[in-house]
Chain A
Amino acid sequence: MKQVSKYIFSLIGFVTVSLPVWAQQQRFPKPEFETGYQQPQPTVPDPRMLLMEYVDVFVLLVVLLLISWFALKKRSRSGIFWTSVFSLLYFGFYREGCICSVGSIQNVALAIFDPTYTIPLTALLFFLIPLVFALFTGRTFCAGACPLGAIQDIVILKPMELPKWLQKVLGFIPYLYLGLAVLYAATKSEFIICRYDPFVGIFRFDAEFQMFVLGGLFLLIGIFVARPYCRFFCPYGVLLGWMSKFSSKHLTITPAECIQCKLCVPSCPFGAIDEPIVEQGNRRKNVNRLITYVMLLPVWALIGGFAGSLVHVPLSKFNSNVYLAEQIIEHPELKNDPDNIDVRTFMTSGKTVDQLVEEAQQIRSQFYVGSWILGAFLGLVIGFSLIKLSTFRKRNDYVPDKVNCLSCGRCMDYCPVKKENSGFNPEVSGQNPN
């Protein structure tokens, strides 16, 4: 009886709450045009109900748990693959690529530097949850929860290995992208990760031509160079890599002992398998080199910071206020140009050019500080990369490179060692390692 009365009260409550909303909708119907005019589609997704945003967080959690289970316990590449297909459909095409963890970096950066901005809890969760998972289970987010990764993973048809030096150089780009994304978000200039997301336009079927071409190029290149955006552009991958480095339960190639059959080496399209290594070259020279690079670390930071401070002027030109102020200063005739929508909007806003220039100068000074930090950060990245390349750690087995491994699980299928046997099983692998 209590249950029945609960349902009745719930129903009454629902009707009471929804009736005014329904009445309002009836009172203010959507305007119609008699000329056959079609309402244009908005270029950004419609606002989503808060409850549904939490559903998204829940789905993310479930997906990450599933992938972690497939990668660590079940050791199933197909399980990871089909989960990534689901993520592509759900987070990509259904959720239209928003909100995504990659873009949430900017929300977090803005929340840190702008006290007036309150970050939505769901955005914060999207930022934190994959990082927490990476800290324990490696980059399982990249393996199957990220729609950007999933769409690229599907098109890997004929991957080729890139030279190590090229991988290292290209691997520098995500750090630069991360720094710029934080700088532009912190100065309230732009969310560049979202604006230049090559795949979100594909998910939404509304890509501008240039972005469509960019997305198409990434996919085309992705046929031969596996997941180029993830490896050489994704700024969130930098953070995930840092977390994954310390992961306690990272995916392993072999469930037991490595038999050094080398079968796994060509299985990884990302070149993220570290091979056995012994120190080469003259030890004294190696140590001296390492010491030199360690001592040069602050020099790199200083050089980077100085270069960054110099480049703050061009960098700040991407801020709309700075750009507008410079346009008006350099071309005063624009103030009377009826076709320049930016200038026209500003002129009708009631602000004076003095105020605009003052704001622009403030933003530029923020860029000066930010560019210093960005340059120093990139200098440190270079310095640490050199240190890492000068460090030799003896390794006897084939193991995943925790920073760069995307936990896709391809290598697991190639490993002839199975857990049940804890040894080599040629029947299961179907291959002869020799």
Chain B
Amino acid sequence: MNLQPNDKINIARKIAWLAAGFSVIICVLLIVNFIQSKSVNPIESETLKALVERLKSDPQNEALINEIRAFDLLARKAYFTSQWQLRTGGYLLLLGIIVTILSVRYVLSNKPKFGELEEIEKEPYLDSVLARKWIIYVGGSLFVLASVSGILSYNSLNAYQFSKSEVKTDEVVVETAQTSEEKIVEETTAAATQENIVPEEIMKAEPKTVAEEVKTETAAKTESSVFVASQKDLRANYPFFRGAEGNGIAWQTNVPTQWDGAAGTNILWKAKFPKRGFSSPIVWKNKVFITGADNAGREVYCYDLNSGKLLWTALADNIPGSPSKMPSVTADTGFAASTMATNGNSVFAIFATGDLLALDMDGKRLWAKNLGVPDNHYGHSSSLIIYKDKLLIQYDTNKGGKLIALSTASGAEMWTTVRKSKISWSSPVLVNTGNRMELILTTDPNVDSYDPETGKELWSVKCLMGEVGPSAAYSDGLVFAANEYATFAAIKPGSTPEIVWQTDEFLPEVASPLAVNGVVIIATSYGTVAAFDTADGTLLWEQEHSDGFYASPVYAAGNVYLIDMAGVCHIFKAGREFQLVAEPALGEKTVCAPVFADGKILIRGFDNLYCIGK
């Protein structure tokens, strides 16, 4: 078939029209499909959201779960089918456009060539004049527009109030309160005021130099109006996890040894928590502070020590940097595993979200900040401790460890020491080694000592491994550290620290060792309690129990109080021979160590807070 050039052009023209029409139709279909695909986006499905809402109120409804799954699958299939249609449509449109262009170009190429461009009338001089004018107009307008939009725009960053400036306001409040109530307490020599039941070794360890140093510093602090609690007050109360130094020594003398939680014997009061937690209570005068948290919120509770009445609840909310999505924690750690701290002027709480809250004794927020969500696969559990005017935080996470000192008054960072450590769940312990105060931290792989004043590392011994939960103990000039699958070591601190002895016969998983009266006690999670000679590590005695121990042993009034996971408290003499005093039962499971107040013991069960006394 011989086609004439004109026939070819006609065919090309028809093809061009057909292809153009085809392209337009595809284009319209693509737009319709695009709009439709927006309405079947599975993430935005209202029906699915309604079903999920229903599931929240009835989480065990299997039929509903299956319905959601089926609907979700359907929505996704529809979405991806629509995506496929869009993509295929895109290819077809491209094909249509290519054919149109080729056909049109063919038609044009057969037209007589007389210039591609549709020209307009030109006058170079006048064109230049006009161009200059327009450039000035447009350029000037652009600059005016830019200036106006700049003037009218609002720089909200400048209006932002940094939490540091909020803190300054709080400092003023604190100062006023301190002045009016004359709360600045002068330091007195602790040894002179202690009761005679205090272990002799601890009495001996009280250095005069420290007392003098604190005296001088207290005077200095008085000038700057920063609250520093005295050692006497700290020991008269129960301000931190495991006592006034965090080492498991309680200084209270009048404490009960008999109770029965189930029968209510010697139970002064019992309070059910609004929210669960595994933190221990702390006590200051007639107030008991404790935390509770769940996915919905984080709270601090204050109970009256004598009546058990809930005095106030403070919420740890609206904290800048606090995550809107809760970090993943395990049920046996939760969001409130860290025990609070108080200096008698303020109370401090930390949660697994990294939220740190400072309240006055009446629950009014002083300051709050988020330390950054700790990367912790169980949940952050290291407890707080206070040294003079510093709130000390052991912040060991999967991303590395830090020791942070914040001003108790303002929350301002005083120093931060980056630690050569992995994640840990242990808590800091304050130790007086005779000539200086040291803050002892345990972690994988080190036992580290820091100057609590400056954060400077004093010494470090590599002896631990694994997931370190137990904190350190101190007695007879030795630091004791242990962890399951690692070792139990006695370390002589100093500029050249050395491991004096170590054993791996009995190792704790969670409970910290307690060193007192020449004996160091280990409580294991499989139910064995063992006592070693602090001097050489000789096994003095061992006791086996049917239930394991997560709660750490605590010394009070000559006895050791050790609660197993079933809630039975094993009270025995703190001596080289095992001598059982009593075995009262709480009647509720617990993993928290007993907390001591004058004439009373507080124990946190899984659901209730118990106050024991006569």
* Residues of A participating in the B interface, judged by any CB pair closer than 8 Å: 35-38, 154-166, 168-169, 172, 176, 202, 205-207, 209, 212, 216, 219, 263, 265-269, 271, 275, 277, 280-281, 300, 303-304, 306-314, 317, 322, 325-326, 329-330, 332, 335-338, 343-344, 347-355, 357-358, 360-361, 364, 375, 378-379, 382, 385-386, 389-390, 410, 414, 430-431
A-B contact pairs, 16 of them (CB 8 A): A35-B73, A157-B101, A160-B118, A164-B128, A165-B131, A176-B142, A205-B90, A207-B90, A307-B142, A314-B150, A348-B325, A357-B160, A364-B157, A378-B139, A378-B142, A382-B135
CB-defined contacts of B155 to chain A, threshold 8 Å:
313, 364
Which of B135, B154, B163, B370 sits near A168, CB closer than 8 Å?
B135
Q: Are A163 and B162 in contact (CB under 8 A)?
A: no
CB-defined contacts of A207 to chain B, threshold 8 Å:
90
Q: Are B119 and A314 in contact (CB under 8 A)?
A: no
Whole-angstrom distance between the Cβ of A189 and the nearest chain B Cβ = 15
CB-defined contacts of B162 to chain A, threshold 8 Å:
354, 357-358
CB-defined contacts of B73 to chain A, threshold 8 Å:
35
C-alpha gap A410/B115 in the complex (Å)? 10
Q: Are A160 and B117 in contact (CB under 8 A)?
A: yes
C-alpha gap A306/B27 in the complex (Å)? 46
Q: Are B373 and A164 in contact (CB under 8 A)?
A: no
CB-defined contacts of B134 to chain A, threshold 8 Å:
165-166, 168-169
C-alpha gap A232/B134 in the complex (Å)? 16
C-alpha gap A390/B125 in the complex (Å)? 9
Which of A37, A338, A357, A385 sits near B157, CB closer than 8 Å?
A357
C-alpha gap A320/B27 in the complex (Å)? 34
Whole-angstrom distance between the Cβ of A230 and the nearest chain B Cβ = 16
Q: B5 near A: Cβ within 8 Å? A: no
5 additional contacts (CB under 8 A) given A314-B150, A378-B139: A209-B31, A265-B115, A307-B142, A307-B143, A347-B321
**Main secondary structure on B side of the interface with A:** helix
Name B151's closest neighbour in chain A (CB-CB): A310
C-alpha gap A380/B278 in the complex (Å)? 68
Chain B stretch 79-102: residues in CB contact (< 8 A) with chain A: 80, 87, 90-91, 94, 97, 101
Q: Given A313-B155, A347-B322: A303 and B125 within 8 A (CB)?
A: no
Name B137's closest neighbour in chain A (CB-CB): A169
* Residues of B participating in the A interface, judged by any CB pair closer than 8 Å: 27, 31, 34, 73, 76-77, 80, 87, 90-91, 94, 97, 101, 104-105, 108, 113-120, 122, 124-125, 127-128, 130-136, 138-139, 142-144, 146-147, 149-151, 153-157, 159-160, 162-164, 318, 320-325, 327, 354, 369-370, 372-373, 375
CB-defined contacts of B156 to chain A, threshold 8 Å:
326, 329-330
Whole-angstrom distance between the Cβ of B37 and the nearest chain A Cβ = 10
Name B164's closest neighbour in chain A (CB-CB): A354
Q: Are B157 and A375 in contact (CB under 8 A)?
A: no
Which of B80, B139, B147, B322 sits near A311, CB closer than 8 Å?
B147
C-alpha gap A383/B323 in the complex (Å)? 52
Whole-angstrom distance between the Cβ of B141 and the nearest chain A Cβ = 11
Q: Are A389 and B131 in contact (CB under 8 A)?
A: yes
Q: Given A159-B117, A267-B116: A172 and B135 within 8 A (CB)?
A: yes
Interface centre among B108, B132, B136 (most CB of A within 10 A): B132
Q: Are A386 and B135 in contact (CB under 8 A)?
A: yes
Closest 10 interchain pairs by CB?
A: A266-B115, A310-B150, A352-B321, A350-B372, A280-B125, A307-B143, A353-B320, A164-B127, A311-B146, A382-B139
Whole-angstrom distance between the Cβ of B149 and the nearest chain A Cβ = 5
Q: Are A344 and B325 in contact (CB under 8 A)?
A: yes
Q: Are A164 and B131 in contact (CB under 8 A)?
A: yes
Which of B80, B104, B135 sits near A385, CB closer than 8 Å?
B135
C-alpha gap A306/B151 in the complex (Å)? 12
Interface centre among B132, B143, B147, B149 (most CB of A within 10 A): B143
Q: Are A389 and B124 in contact (CB under 8 A)?
A: no
CB-defined contacts of B119 to chain A, threshold 8 Å:
161, 265-266
Name B162's closest neighbour in chain A (CB-CB): A354
Name B138's closest neighbour in chain A (CB-CB): A169
Q: Given A266-B119, A281-B125, A307-B150: A347 and B135 within 8 A (CB)?
A: no
Q: Are B135 and A352 in contact (CB under 8 A)?
A: no
Q: Are B117 and A352 in contact (CB under 8 A)?
A: no
CB-defined contacts of A205 to chain B, threshold 8 Å:
87, 90-91, 94
CB-defined contacts of A163 to chain B, threshold 8 Å:
120, 127, 130
Q: Are B323 and A322 in contact (CB under 8 A)?
A: no
Which of A166, A307, A344 sits near B147, CB closer than 8 Å?
A307
Q: Are B149 and A159 in contact (CB under 8 A)?
A: no
CB-defined contacts of B113 to chain A, threshold 8 Å:
414, 430-431
CB-defined contacts of B153 to chain A, threshold 8 Å:
311, 313-314, 317
CB-defined contacts of B318 to chain A, threshold 8 Å:
332, 335
CB-defined contacts of B163 to chain A, threshold 8 Å:
352, 354
Name B80's closest neighbour in chain A (CB-CB): A38
Name A38's closest neighbour in chain B (CB-CB): B80
CB-defined contacts of B321 to chain A, threshold 8 Å:
347, 350-355
Interface centre among A168, A172, A265 (most CB of B within 10 A): A168
Q: Given A344-B324, A352-B320: A165 and B157 within 8 A (CB)?
A: no
Which of B27, B136, B373 sits near A386, CB closer than 8 Å?
B136
Whole-angstrom distance between the Cβ of A258 and the nearest chain B Cβ = 17
Whole-angstrom distance between the Cβ of B304 and the nearest chain A Cβ = 32
C-alpha gap A351/B320 in the complex (Å)? 9
C-alpha gap A344/B318 in the complex (Å)? 14
Q: Are A37 and B76 in contact (CB under 8 A)?
A: yes
Q: Are B157 and A326 in contact (CB under 8 A)?
A: yes
CB-defined contacts of B131 to chain A, threshold 8 Å:
164-165, 168-169, 389
CB-defined contacts of A364 to chain B, threshold 8 Å:
155, 157
C-alpha gap A92/B345 in the complex (Å)? 70
Q: Are A164 and B130 in contact (CB under 8 A)?
A: yes
CB-defined contacts of B370 to chain A, threshold 8 Å:
350, 352
Name B320's closest neighbour in chain A (CB-CB): A353
CB-defined contacts of A311 to chain B, threshold 8 Å:
146-147, 149-150, 153
Q: Are B135 and A169 in contact (CB under 8 A)?
A: yes
CB-defined contacts of A352 to chain B, threshold 8 Å:
163, 320-321, 369-370, 372
C-alpha gap A35/B31 in the complex (Å)? 29
CB-defined contacts of B164 to chain A, threshold 8 Å:
354
Q: Are A375 and B324 in contact (CB under 8 A)?
A: no
Q: Are B128 and A266 in contact (CB under 8 A)?
A: no
CB-defined contacts of A209 to chain B, threshold 8 Å:
31, 34
CB-defined contacts of B143 to chain A, threshold 8 Å:
303-304, 307, 375, 379
Q: Are B118 and A165 in contact (CB under 8 A)?
A: no
Q: Given A158-B118, A313-B150, A360-B157: A343 and B324 within 8 A (CB)?
A: yes
C-alpha gap A350/B320 in the complex (Å)? 10
Q: Are B80 and A310 in contact (CB under 8 A)?
A: no
Which of A263, A317, A353, A375 sits near B146, CB closer than 8 Å?
A375
C-alpha gap A219/B120 in the complex (Å)? 22
CB-defined contacts of B76 to chain A, threshold 8 Å:
37
C-alpha gap A34/B391 in the complex (Å)? 53
Q: Given A347-B321, A347-B325: A306 and B124 within 8 A (CB)?
A: no
Whole-angstrom distance between the Cβ of B83 and the nearest chain A Cβ = 8
C-alpha gap A386/B322 in the complex (Å)? 56
Whole-angstrom distance between the Cβ of B410 and the nearest chain A Cβ = 14
C-alpha gap A397/B142 in the complex (Å)? 37
Name B370's closest neighbour in chain A (CB-CB): A352
Q: Given A329-B157, A348-B323, A354-B163: A161 and B125 within 8 A (CB)?
A: no
CB-defined contacts of A164 to chain B, threshold 8 Å:
122, 127-128, 130-131
C-alpha gap A205/B108 in the complex (Å)? 29
Name B31's closest neighbour in chain A (CB-CB): A209
Which of B108, B124, B157, B372 sits near A157, CB closer than 8 Å?
B108
Interface centre among A37, A263, A337, A352 (most CB of B within 10 A): A352
CB-defined contacts of B101 to chain A, threshold 8 Å:
154-155, 157
Interface centre among B108, B116, B125, B354 (most CB of A within 10 A): B116
CB-defined contacts of A354 to chain B, threshold 8 Å:
162-164, 320-321
Whole-angstrom distance between the Cβ of B9 and the nearest chain A Cβ = 15
